[in-house]
Structure 1
Amino acid sequence: MTAYIILIVVVAVLLLGVGGTVLLRPRGMHGVRRSRNRELDLTGSMPKVSDSGSGTGTDTITVPPAQRPPAEAPPVPPQPIIERPPPSAGRMVRLRARLARSQSGFGNALLALLSRDRLDDDTWDEIEEVLITADVGVTPARQMVSDLRTKVKVEGTRTPDDVREMLRTELLAQVETPASRSLRTQRHEGRPAVVLMVGVNGTGKTTTCGKLARALVGDGETVVLGAADTFRAAAADQLQTWGERVGAETVRSDKEGADPASVAYDAVSVGIEQEADVVIIDTAGRLHTKNDLMDELGKVKRVVEKRTTVDEVLLVLDATTGQNGLRQARVFAEVVDVTGIVLTKLDGTAKGGIVIAVQRELGVPVKLVGLGEGPDDLAPFDPVTFVDAILGG
């Protein structure tokens, strides 16, 4: 009995051994034994499965790596639309109505006083007061009153037209100046003209640089802008925006507080390399009472002159500041030899007499006037148009 049981156990063990081998080594449909050997794909994140295709049982099947989506190109910023500004010629005539609205109070008051039947001392005192209030200045006002009194005595009877023509002649005599009002913005000796814009904070200096660039481009000239106001990043940004609108390159420093003279020098160098017609340099607004800042402005001019000549030094004055503007003008003239005046905000004040006062004080002409906030509201100053606008003629 025991032997029988042992025999059954041995047979069972043998049967299990044979079946295990079959399970571990199954044969394929064609009787070829297959085995799989997975290998690491070094060129992709997915493993490769080998299948040699031979009867050795070492077959390799390559699974391609997952396809990566193409990288998206960075968005291209929109290119600014380059504008074609109108030429500067005739701008003041086109803006004459706007000038007349702001200045007619001054002219109307003078016409009313001079049209009185009897011009006594009190009336002449009123005329002088109107002139002084209009920022003509005390000395020029007294000179005008003296001239007018003489003309009234000589001519005798006066019609309204006579009064207007008499006043027009006198105002033109005060506004006119022997100095040329033309801007020197033409290339010379193979180099661009250089315009240095100076003035205190708040006069619209940077805006004037941009508007002047527009006017020159409208006249067919090529312009390079120099952002030498390195103390305000916003000033450089503003100037660059003006330049982009008319296709003018702006030279600036990426470092706030950089040396203004260095930026101005670089701007002139770029202008020379590009054979530009004119380089306009914007400087930081300086208080005329700060000696160190004024000295720095003088340095900017000296450094530029190592590369080329400075053809224009334009002092930007706010027409609404009146006699305070004259004090500013005197100090700037001592430092950088001002060649011309730009009067901004002339459309917003009835004190057009500042034109007479500032020319008399400095002996240099008003060359440009700002007659509005629009991009093309900067105009070459024309005395006849100015006086006629004051008188409403």
Structure 2
Amino acid sequence: MTPALEGVRVLDLATVGPAARASRILADYGASVTKVGAVPRAGGVQITPPFYAYSGNRGMTRALFDLKSADGRNAFLGLVAEADVVIESFRPGVADRLGIGYAALREANPAIILCSTSGYGQDGPRRDWAGHDINYLATSGFLDCSGRQADGRPALPGATVADIAAGGMQAAMAIMAALLRRERGEQNRQGEHTRQGEHPRQGEHIDVSIADGAFTMMSLYVDEYLATGNEPGPGHYILTGRYACYDTYRCADGRYVSVGAIEPRFWANLCELIGLPQFASQQTEDDAQDEIRNALAAKFVTEDRDHWVQLLGPADTCVAPVNTVAEAVEDPHTTARALVVDAVSETDGPFRQSAPGWAGTVPPDGAYEVAAADSTDTESLLASAGLDAHEIERMLDEGVIA
């Protein structure tokens, strides 16, 4: 099977965060991704954790430019001329000041798709604010609707939800949609008269805001508030712990099970198997929740976690183990679904890493190949783009590329 994005060329100016996650998704779908970084400075410390470079940069090439120099910038634009997509995560306005904003990229390649990822978007009162995952979850209402710590503070999620879902996945989907739109636009123009000077394929500038994506994730809550005026909060919904049928419980060995028995038939199955049939008809009675929750807690703590998982998991009760990361990696279901794969580094040899878990990706015939974190492909990439070998050598000597 041919990878869905085979032949799509992506230049990624981001090193970490949602933009880097987006380029990894595109690479996992078969795009040719080049990680674009800055030329190392004398005396500077270059820190690239191997575990991040392995997973983030697998199947990618790497090029280094001094974008503050005219030669370095022009060399980068030479790659843009041959590319389909550029991803950047500078603060709004920085790319323009560097001379690599959308206008400059479009001049080099009218068909280019530029995806700008930022915390709060390219406009709006917070456009220049610095931020991270916690901030975007906070402004969207997500944190306020999460559980509470012992002192009443909003609980923090166990992963960078906004970076992954609201940022990286949003950017990847937007880029793939833009590629499809460009392709359809080209097909629609076939046979039509093209205005003088108009390129047959037209790109676009995508504005991805992580905060916007986080707000969109809250649509169920937002729509209820807009429709009724009721303001959601922690434990407001069945899916956020309002009822005992949707919670976690401690077991005898100190580990936990997750219970998500929302549907009445699953809840009835759970009550019967755990020996609490009297609560089957009280699933959503608010006044009974403390009693039910305490009874469930008292039952689950009598046996180890795996006992309950083996008894309840296959029995239509919506019960599953709360795994540690180590347990998740070694879980038989993880193995069966090939979610951990073999990889090989040209410097450190074979190892294992998380697989592309996205539906429709095409795995390689063997192990995933990962280049050394400090390797570069700048020379070969520029040569492929048509730059003269002597010019490339001169820029290497002058330190504007590496």
TM-score, normalised relative to structure 1 = 0.29
Q: Relative to total residues, which structure has the larger helix share, 1 or 2?
A: 1
Q: TM-score, normalised by structure 2?
A: 0.28
